[in-house]
Amino acid sequence: MKSLWFVIAMLLVATVSWLAWGYYRADDVAKAISDHLPSQERLDAMSHEETEVALKIAMSACTRLQSLQWNPLARLMRGDEIAMLAEHCELLEARQQALSGP
C-alpha cells in the first residue's frame, strides 16, 4: 500500500512540475518574441533598409509563436498574450509584404 501512495505522490509531483515548467517556458518564449517585435511607431521612424532588416528579425521571432499557439497549456495560461502577439505578427507580415511590392 505504501508503494502505491509513493507512485501516486510521484505522479502528482511530476504533473505539477510539468505544469510549472510549461507556464514559465511559455512566459520566457512570449517575452523573447515580444522583445524582437518592433512597434509600428519604431518602424515608421526607420529608413527603408532598417525597416526591412527589422521585419526580417521580427518574422523569425514570429515563427516561434507557432509553438505557443499549438501548446494547449500555454494557450490556457497565456492565451490573451499569445493572441496579442499573433495579431502583431500578422500586422508586421502585412507590412513586410507591402514593402516587398506585388
pLDDT digits (tens, 9 = 90+) for 69-92: 888 888 888 888 989 999 999 999
Per-residue model confidence (pLDDT) at position 43: 84
> What CA–CA distance (Å, rounded) separates 32 from 96?
21
Quick: pLDDT tens for 31-60.
Answer: 888 888 898 888 888 888 888 888 998 998
**Residue with C-alpha cell 525597416?**
51
What pLDDT shows up at residue 1?
77
Distance, in Å, from the CA atom of 26 to the CA atom of 75, rounded to the nearest integer, reads 9
Q: What are φ and ψ of residue 38, in 5° steps?
A: -75, 150
d(CA 99, CA 102): 9
The pTM score is 0.75
